[in-house]
Structure 1
Amino acid sequence: MNVWKKSLALCLTLMMLASLAACGGDQEPDETPAEEPVTLRVAALKGPTAMGMVKLMDDSKPVTEAVEEEHEDVGTSGNLYDFTLAASADEVTPLLIQGELDMACVPANLASVLYNRTKGEIVTLAVNTLGVLYMVENGNAVQSLADLKGKTIVAAGKGSTPEYALRYLLSENGIDPDADVVIDWKSEHSECVAALATGAATIALLPQPFVTVAQGKIEGLRMALDLTKEWDALDNGSALLTGVVVARKEFVEDYPAAVSDFLEQYSASVDWVNANTADAAALIGEYEIVDAAVAEKALPYCNIVCITGSEMKEKLSGYLQVLFDADPASVGADPTDESSGLPADDFYYGA
């Protein structure tokens, strides 16, 4: 009798489980609605930051144009793009703050300045360019930073990354930038190239691709020092950075899938540019970012990357700390505003 009761109970239990499974099968699965296609308004500066984005620009162009022309046979499941190429960050900054751009490639310290200026309404998505600064020489006297002692260096970029990086590296190598060297500041990099070409200077601090341009004009001009390698040799946990990709916080919160898709596509574009120098240079020339011949020679020295997440935070926060220690205003800190200073964690997307 006990055996029969146990068998009946088992059968009833199995029937109930089967019934529940059948009911569950009739229900619609819980699905998060897919985001509608989003048009991302993105700006990049004519130089290494735009060079790394050129494949994404080219791949997205036919789809975006077709959608704008309302071709019915074109799928719109991914991002659409509206790219702007600017000559300077001054053109980009107001458009980003006013909401006329969603993302922009800007100098690394400017990202922090914008974060402070907007009270945290700017986030950094990725580091897109490591150091592109080189000490060039028309001669062979400079083999190390120590060799710069007593020399005159022409440079442009006073009050920005070139000055902060140069002063920091000189100081860390036992050279007083105010007493042991003469830094002749010019208003533009082209003026530095002109000084080298006329013989008025023999040593200059230049970024790529200006280094390549100068080498094309001045016979024997060589890259004496790579400031990125000199910075890395300090092994202080930071990195010399040139550019980052930032976005409006509101846009990131409203369109998380579009942002994720962008980063995936942008990373693929950077990988392609670094692996296909000749083809990438042709595209760069086509988009009038830099002359194709110059781009092909300069690309291996432009340190184009797409670093995101915790690695981005580590490198960028360390770099900003160095700038802050040298001059708090360089990262947007306002001595009259206690809330300003180095960016908080919400500045680093995905970290």
Structure 2
Amino acid sequence: MKRLLNVLLIVLTVTFTLGAQAVSEAPVASALDVQFGVMAGPTGFSSVALTQNEGKISDTVTINMSVFPSPNEVIARLANGELDFASLPTNVAANLYNKGVKVKLAAVIGNGMLSVLSSDGSASSVEDLLGKTVHVPGAGSTPDQMSQLLLKQAGLEVGKDVILDYSVAAPAQLAQLVIAGKVSLAVLPQPFVSMILNRSPKSRAVVDVQSLYHQLSGVLNYPMSVLVVSEAFAKNHPLALATVLKAYEDSVAWVNADPIAAGQAIEAAGIMASAMATPAIPSCNLVFIPSQEAKAEVQAYFSFLHGFSPASIGGTIPSEDLYL
């Protein structure tokens, strides 16, 4: 019996040792470089903490962030597989999906941040816009889409009740003209709204577009920017996906909590000068709402856009398959 117990003890010891060696020799998860694209401007603000610590957001995941001047460059790189994640205007995400680009909407990262501004304070309500010319930075832009959408919802006719002028396409240039008093009325996003109000004592915000949208549509917010992820990345790297999404949520919280430090990081990343970014951050409506929670508001926004311009979202309202 004693001999049998000794044999069993030896067997158990060997088994435990081999098991321990197997565990210790298990391969460590390989490092993963994540390609992340953002646009210059407020769409990229909330991502900036991802650039800290040389982009290393965990022991195994590093963010390589690229900043692009326009959505077209981001679209091209998503389409050919060069990017894993991107921050984009919401309607651009719909267009990508409808064109067959394999992306998933991961989260809403920015709600509306548009205002109609008066350079001389002569307008103070929506009624004061009747019969007036309102400058819009670029036909087909989000300010243009929202202007047309809200005018239609209000029962007003573009070109008759309110004239939309697209002669100045660049928001920065249009903002300077408002400050100089050369443009009386304009619809602009942050950070240009804050810049105008800070530099021009006579300027006034006539309409908070977000409040008007809520009033006319019954939907609390419209999602102005979203985070998308390639379908292949989401499928092949579920743990890294969760790590990136958590890091992005933390980034949004940090930017909102410390606009001064965030502004410096935004400038260092090449997204925008801190002098413009810092004062605008509190008004930029930066959020992190997972796609499944934001779905109702996103679909409502797509429905409204489709109602007056199907082409603005790529022809059709995306199915629920868009959402991560």
TM category, shorter:
0.7 to 0.9
Aligned runs of 1:199-348 on 2, under 5 Å? 199-237=181-219, 239-333=221-315, 341-348=316-323
Distance 1:285 1:325, change over 3 A: same
2:135 to 137, 154, 157: 154
Secondary structure at the aligned position of 1:290 is classed as coil
Equivalent of residue 58 in structure 1, options 36, 52, 72 = 52
Identity of aligned residues (%): 29
State the one-letter code of the partner of 2:292.
S
Task: Name which of structure 1's ranges 88-97 and 145-154 shifts more when overlaid on structure 2.
Answer: 145-154
C-alpha RMSD of matched pairs (Å): 2.6
Q: Distance in 1 between matches of 2:176 and 2:279?
A: 20
Q: Which runs of 5+ in 1 are unaligned?
A: 1-25, 65-75, 334-340
Contact 1:39 1:81 in 2 (8 A): yes
In structure 2, the partner of 1:129 is 110
Of 150, 160, 175, the residue aligned with 1:169 is 150
Q: Shift of the alpha carbon at 1:49?
A: 2.2
TM-score (norm 1): 0.79
Q: How does 1:173-188 map to 2 (within 5 A)?
A: 173-185=154-166, 186-188=168-170
Q: Deviations over 1:213-267 (max 9, x none)?
A: 3345534222222211221223533632221111211111111111111111100
1:299 Cα deviation from its structure 2 partner: 0.7
Judge conservation of contact 2:50–2:63 (CA < 8 Å) in 1. Answer: no
Task: Indicate how the Cα distance of structure 1 residues 191 and 285 shifts in structure 2: closer, same or farther if over 3 A, else same.
Answer: closer
**Is the 2:213–2:219 Cα contact (8 Å) retained in structure 1?**
no
**Aligned partner of residue 233 in structure 1, secondary structure:** helix
User: Within 1, Cα distance between the matches of 2:222 and 2:158?
Assistant: 18
| Alignment correspondent of 2:33 | 39
Please tell me the residue identity of whatever aligns with 1:272: W
**2: distance between equivalents of 1:34 and 1:125?**
28
User: Whole-Å Cα distance in 1 between the matches of residues 179 and 220 of structure 2?
Assistant: 35
The alpha-carbon deviation at position 288 of structure 1 amounts to 3.0
**Aligned mates of 1:241, 1:145 — CA distance in 2:** 22
Larger radius of gyration: 1
> 1:87 aligns to what?
69
Question: 1:52 is paired with a residue of what secondary structure?
Answer: helix
Count of matched residue positions in the alignment of Structure 1 and Structure 2 = 304
Tell me the amino acid that sits aligned with residue 323 of structure 2: Y
Deviation at 1:169, TM superposition (A): 1.3
- The offset of 1:198, in angstroms, is 4.2
| Bigger Cα displacement from structure 2, 181-190 vs 93-102 | 181-190
User: 1:238, 1:318 within 8 Å by CA — same for their partners in 2?
Assistant: no
Equivalents in 2 of 1:227, 1:99: separation in Å?
35
Q: Distance in 2 between matches of 1:283 and 1:159?
A: 30
Gaps of 5+ in 2: 1-15
- State the secondary structure of the residue aligned to 1:99: coil
Q: Match of 2:91?
A: 109
